[in-house]
Amino acid sequence: MKSETLVNNEFGIAEALKALGINDQNPGTGTGTQWVHSNGPVLESYSPVDGQRIAAVHQSTEADYEATMQRSAEAFKVWRNMPAPKRGEIVRQVGEELRKYKEPLGKLVSYEMGKSLQEGLGEVQEMIDICDFAVGLSRQLYGLTMHSERPKHRMYEQWHPLGIVGIISAFNFPVAVWSWNAAIAWVCGDVCVWKPSSKVPLCAIACQNIISKVFRDNQVPEGVSCVLIGNHVGDRMNNDSRVPMISFTGSTRIGRRVAGSVAQRFGRTILELGGNNAIIVSEHADLNMVLVGTVFGAVGTAGQRCTTTRRLIVHESVYDKTLNVLKNAYGQLSIGNPLNPANHVGPLIDKGAVQQYLDAIEHAKKEGGKMVVEGGVLEGEGYESGCYVKPCIVEAMNSYQIVQEETFAPILYVMKYKTIDEAISLQNDVPQGLSSAIFTNNMREMEQFLSQEGSDCGIANVNIGTSGAEIGGAFGGEKETGGGRESGSDSWKAYMRRQTNTINYSSTLPLAQGIKFDL
């Protein structure tokens, strides 16, 4: 990797890169304790913050891929036989190492991806938290015992690791989503191969550099944690029968292809795809809470979260007041360098995302949408990357084609409702089903929203926004969001295979269901 010496150091970026080992190594793929040098095509990483080139890496070649998979398969044979609490102890040490590097890694996340420094630091904190969660989990990989219908028989179930877990992550959470999968997969006894987004490869390299010392010190075999760089790697993993599980985060369009490829070989998937998340604002809502939940949900990470608030469904009696409050708040947003804590909104990831933002606004207008807060691209000093846009609000109908789609940008569609039944129907009437929320102080509305006839999303919140899920709860959605769960609760079961065992400790062999088979 060749690091650009002219990187903007106003906020200590050069020091952060140095601390994270982003220097003149030139890696292409890696394992837990060493980098495998590659001669693959060069991939350059540019910051959307200021448009500067950060560094270049060589993408993984076919030879790199094969070597990594072979090494991972061999490592699995050793790692799976290590007691789970011992694996948990190693993950605990990974969490401690992440604590040491929280500030420089948070800065790199902010600079390479474009989210605010506080969000970058928060993402690293999520990594630390999931390591803590996984440590406890390493002693709680429980199976059930069942009573047998046959005398002197014992039945129970146990869980075994799957093998190689492929993790394909998206640019918007360059490190956290990988850790959700990896920390849990590791304590389950799996090994991980990570294909990060080609838009943020340096964050993955930094993570690998951080954890390498832990693996070395614990004499962990090469191959327990690997990184492969390049878009072609994803397709290779999806079709590789040596990878029984693929965890994919990305668009619904690509997710369909991933699901088909993996299903064709009877593999497993966790799919975290598109979101089209709505907040219902009841006439019984506290509008001060609505303001905070909606604005952060809609403009946080410049609208580039899968849990971003994209639709606001407001009761007609408080509609005008809610819009006035939001317009005032949007007028006070500070847009600029996300490493500056005075700014609320940073850039989109690249100019392609900017064009999608502009196209979506035009589509909304053509379908009859009315601009409440105008959008646009910012130019001039501080916006040289061409990736900064204005968060906007559009009055729209839920039936508009553009409203039915997910646009990864700070565009908020607002609409009215009369009854709670109508509001829930509007909330559910999109192809996606990730996150949802209602703001209300009416208990009946709360309970209806959370009931089987309420929100059809994987996440349903009351009096908090759609964004900001905690690692303790299972994360994921329904419908075109893909299915499967990551992070907390019992999502660990997705990374293991269930086995039912029956032990006969009698001197006879009775058959189930009373079947007689006399010889």
Expressed in angstroms, the distance from the first to the final Cα of the chain is: 72
Element (H, E) at 236: helix 231-238
CA pair distance 211, 197, nearest whole angstrom: 19
Amino acid code (one letter) for 223: G
Secondary structure, 3-state, 95-156: HHHHHHCHHHHHHHHHHHHCCCHHHHHHHHHHHHHHHHHHHHHCCCCCCCEEECCCCCEEEE
CA pair distance 175, 201, nearest whole angstrom: 10
Is there a catalytic annotation at residue 445?
no
Angle in degrees, CA 111, 104, 408, rounded to 5: 30
State the catalytic residue, choosing from 112, 123, 126, 272.
272
CA pair distance 31, 176, nearest whole angstrom: 19
User: DSSP string spanning 270-319?
Assistant: EEE----EEEEE-TTS-HHHHHHHHHHHHHGGGG-STT-EEEEEEETTTH
DSSP bridge pairs for 414: 312, 395
State the catalytic residue, choosing from 131, 192, 207, 306.
306
- Locus of tokens 């009761």: 315
- Locus of tokens 């408080």: 318
| Residues 6+ positions from 378 with CB-CB distance below 8 Å | 335, 388, 389, 390
Q: Are 467 and 308 in contact (CB under 8 A)?
A: yes
CA pair distance 438, 448, nearest whole angstrom: 10
Is there a catalytic annotation at residue 131?
no
Task: Return the active site residues.
Answer: 272, 306
